[in-house]
Chain A
Amino acid sequence: MADANNGRIEIEGVTKRFLTPGGEVFTAIKDVSFTVEPGQFCAVVGPTGCGKSTTLGMVSGLDRPSEGTVKVGGKVVDGITDGVSFMFQADALLPWKTVLANVALGPIFKGASKAEAQARARDWLRRVGLTGFEDRYPHQLSGGMRKRVAMAAALINEPKILMMDEPFGALDVQTKAIMSNELLGLWEQSRPAVLFITHDLDEAVALADKVVVMTSSPGTVKAVYDIDLPRPRGSVQEIRFEPRFLELQHQIWDTLREEVERAYARTAGGPVTEGKAA
């Protein structure tokens, strides 16, 4: 790949502070540093309220760090980062547009003609197995099918970086496994760098090359693990039983557990204050 260097994400000493409505300064993340190599699948896990979504916002250029720098492809992020796509827990589909029009929106926003955008959208719908559903509206589809539409919409612009904010968080376990497999299949074809945020450690280990564990309030990087399970990994349901998977999973869980317990003790003890700033 000629522009292989473009998808490298470097987060260096990033701190983000918010002003709460009460006028207090709230530190969402503090001195966070990690790097995602081009084509690498990086998962970020951590307890609720550790600033994972804040980090994504700064990589995409929707938000600015208070301190430190975020670089994409060696360039400091200012303004919307080029070649980034987003996938959220709630599918960002427009309810009044058909499936085809929703997927075609990405190229149209980029300036493609309507005919070209629709042709590419048809192709992507075929790749995610939704041929024949072009004229349906999002509310007529099942949760899994909407996820596939969202996936096609995220990948159609051929991003260098794919950011996923708990994309499968709202799905049932079986659908989640199926969607994870399909995501891996599509990812292998174009290999963008992926920043994948999740609560689910099993999901993170099964999918990623690298797992970043974050602490909560303020969010900091606690540890980074390389996942050396060989690719292609096949089904995410099966990989869970491999000894190496279990070993890594135990190792990371030991780190994560005290963070989760700490965060739980804080939120269970009193009213939730962390969420306000976001």
Chain B
Amino acid sequence: MAMLTRTERKRSEPARTAPTRTGVRRALSSPLSTVAVLLVTVVWTVPSLGLLVTSLRPEQDVAQTGWWDFFAHPHLTLANYHDVLFNGGFGVSDGLMPYLVNSLAITVPATIFPIVLASMAAYVLAWIPFKGSDTIFFVFFALQVVPLQMALVPLLQLFSGGAHIGSLTIFPAVGMGGSYAPVWIAHTMFAMPLAVFLLHNFIAQLPRDLIEAARVDGASHFRVFRSVVLPLATPALASFAIFQFLWVWNDLLVGLTFTGGAPESAPMPSRLAQLSGSFGDHWEILTAGAFVSVVIPLVVFFSLQRYFVRGLLAGSVKG
């Protein structure tokens, strides 16, 4: 039975995908589209270059001329970065540095927690048959339509005051104010539906033979998950990690709501928002701050992209 579907699928797949793939390839490799792609790339990159150059120019230059003037008078300085990171500029509290640390301390765990939890949930829902697993998966799927804004106030209330019916305490108030924990928990919760859905779809497609062979060899479910499923799911894990990292890193709403903007726990976007309010005309400070917050996601993207591409290649060679 399984054999039939497996072989049938294998046989029909190349026939179905080959013409479209070559069609798209041919269209993409024509000289005209190459020029178009180059053009779009340049148009897309120029503002980023402007951002970088502005952040490196001295204050007076920025105030007087546009960034393209740099090509005529190339004066570069790292003073803006020093100002924005450590001085905070012009007597207003301290620099971005503590917020940068906060952002990392929030983003890294808020990326790892949902990946760990969701990959385990996805394995269980995809490979361990039990009554109600379809229902649970459906609930996860359906939860994606709930906007996270709806949960902000109740969740904040739950963290600070606990949950009570009359005098009965269902959930005690936990003193997590000023720590990172409320942000971690909130981000993890909001990420779970999409994470479980994405990873489930990937993990359910893994070859049955590999998993069953390990099971029959006597591997426990946890063992199969760790030694077979996780390595095979690396491309999916990496792509979800990139999405989640970028989302949490750039997030202002959740970070601001659950930290109250306090310097000891608030992430960088909340400080950048303040900066653009108070230093709207100091472009050299704002661009330096913005570039700091661009660099780290770029590093994450390029370091994880390797796994991403490798996974895609491995799949195509095997098929």
Listed in ascending order, the chain A residues whose CB lies under 8 Å from chain B are 28, 48-54, 57, 60, 62, 80-82, 84-86, 88-90, 92, 94-96, 105-106, 109-111, 139, 153, 157, 163, 165-166, 197, 272, 274-278
Q: How far is the CB of A171 from chain B (nearest CB, A)?
A: 14
Within 8 A of A (CB), among B177-222: 207, 209-210, 212-219
Assess whether B212 is in contact with A62, with CB atoms less than 8 Å apart.
yes
Q: Name the residue in B5, B217, B232 with the highest tally of chain A Cβ atoms < 10 Å from its Cβ.
A: B217
Q: How far is the CB of A116 from chain B (nearest CB, A)?
A: 15
> Which residues of B have CB within 8 Å of A57?
212
Q: How far is the CB of A106 from chain B (nearest CB, A)?
A: 5
> Which residues of A have CB within 8 Å of B209?
86, 88, 90, 92
> Which residues of A have CB within 8 Å of B2?
53-54, 278
Listed in ascending order, the chain B residues whose CB lies under 8 Å from chain A are 1-6, 8, 207, 209-210, 212-219, 223, 227-228, 231-232, 314, 317-318
Assess whether A54 is in contact with B217, with CB atoms less than 8 Å apart.
no
Assess whether B3 is in contact with A109, with CB atoms less than 8 Å apart.
no
> Which residues of B have CB within 8 Å of A157?
217-218
Q: How far is the CB of B70 from chain A (nearest CB, A)?
A: 47
CA distance A278 to B3 in the complex (A): 8
Assess whether B314 is in contact with A278, with CB atoms less than 8 Å apart.
no
> Which residues of A have CB within 8 Å of B3?
48, 52-53, 89, 165-166, 197, 278
Assess whether B8 is in contact with A94, with CB atoms less than 8 Å apart.
no
CA distance A85 to B218 in the complex (A): 9
CA distance A54 to B19 in the complex (A): 35
> Which residues of B have CB within 8 Å of A90?
207, 209
Assess whether A275 is in contact with B4, with CB atoms less than 8 Å apart.
yes
Q: How far is the CB of A152 from chain B (nearest CB, A)?
A: 13
Assess whether A109 is in contact with B5, with CB atoms less than 8 Å apart.
no
CA distance A95 to B231 in the complex (A): 10
Assess whether B217 is in contact with A274, with CB atoms less than 8 Å apart.
no
Q: Which residue from A106, A109, A163, A272 sits with its C-beta under 8 Å from B4?
A: A272
Q: Which residue from B6, B212, B217, B232 sits with its C-beta under 8 Å from A105?
A: B217
Q: Which residue from B1, B8, B213, B318 sits with its C-beta under 8 Å from A95?
A: B318
Assess whether A109 is in contact with B218, with CB atoms less than 8 Å apart.
yes
> Which residues of B have CB within 8 Å of A274?
1, 4
> Which residues of B have CB within 8 Å of A153?
213
Assess whether B210 is in contact with A275, with CB atoms less than 8 Å apart.
no
Assess whether A62 is in contact with B217, with CB atoms less than 8 Å apart.
no
Q: Name the residue in A96, A105, A275 with the highest tally of chain B Cβ atoms < 10 Å from its Cβ.
A: A275
CA distance A65 to B318 in the complex (A): 33
Assess whether B217 is in contact with A85, with CB atoms less than 8 Å apart.
yes
Q: Name the residue in B210, B213, B228, B314 with the highest tally of chain A Cβ atoms < 10 Å from its Cβ.
A: B213
Assess whether A94 is in contact with B1, with CB atoms less than 8 Å apart.
no
CA distance A92 to B217 in the complex (A): 12
Assess whether A276 is in contact with B5, with CB atoms less than 8 Å apart.
yes
Q: How far is the CB of B109 from chain A (nearest CB, A)?
A: 27
Given A49-B1, A60-B216, A94-B231, 6 further pairs, Cβ under 8 A: A48-B4, A50-B1, A80-B215, A88-B209, A92-B210, A92-B214
> Which residues of A have CB within 8 Å of B314?
95
Assess whether B5 is in contact with A139, with CB atoms less than 8 Å apart.
no
Q: How far is the CB of B174 from chain A (nearest CB, A)?
A: 40
> Which residues of B have CB within 8 Å of A94?
210, 227-228, 231-232
> Which residues of A have CB within 8 Å of B318?
95
Assess whether B1 is in contact with A28, with CB atoms less than 8 Å apart.
yes
> Which A residue sits closest to B232, measured CB to CB?
A94
Contacts A48-B3, A94-B231, A95-B314 given; does A80 touch B218 at CB 8 Å: yes
Q: How far is the CB of A30 from chain B (nearest CB, A)?
A: 13
CA distance A28 to B4 in the complex (A): 12
Assess whether B231 is in contact with A96, with CB atoms less than 8 Å apart.
yes
18 of the cross-chain contacts (CB-CB < 8 Å) are: A48-B3, A50-B1, A57-B212, A80-B215, A80-B218, A81-B216, A85-B217, A88-B209, A89-B3, A89-B6, A90-B207, A90-B209, A92-B207, A106-B217, A109-B223, A165-B3, A197-B3, A274-B1
> Which residues of B have CB within 8 Å of A166?
3
CA distance A241 to B56 in the complex (A): 85
> Which residues of B have CB within 8 Å of A106?
217-218
Assess whether B218 is in contact with A110, with CB atoms less than 8 Å apart.
yes
CA distance A275 to B227 in the complex (A): 30
Q: How far is the CB of B224 from chain A (nearest CB, A)?
A: 9
> Which B residue sits closest to A93, measured CB to CB?
B210
CA distance A197 to B317 in the complex (A): 28
Assess whether A277 is in contact with B1, with CB atoms less than 8 Å apart.
yes
> Which B residue sits closest to A49, measured CB to CB?
B4
The 9 closest A-B pairs by CB, nearest first: A278-B1, A92-B213, A275-B5, A278-B2, A109-B219, A88-B209, A275-B4, A92-B209, A109-B217
CA distance A88 to B228 in the complex (A): 17
Q: How far is the CB of A254 from chain B (nearest CB, A)?
A: 24
Q: How far is the CB of B161 from chain A (nearest CB, A)?
A: 46
> Which residues of A have CB within 8 Å of B210?
92, 94
Q: How far is the CB of B206 from chain A (nearest CB, A)?
A: 11
Q: Name the residue in A28, A88, A163 with the highest tally of chain B Cβ atoms < 10 Å from its Cβ.
A: A88
> Which residues of A have CB within 8 Å of B213?
86, 88, 92, 153
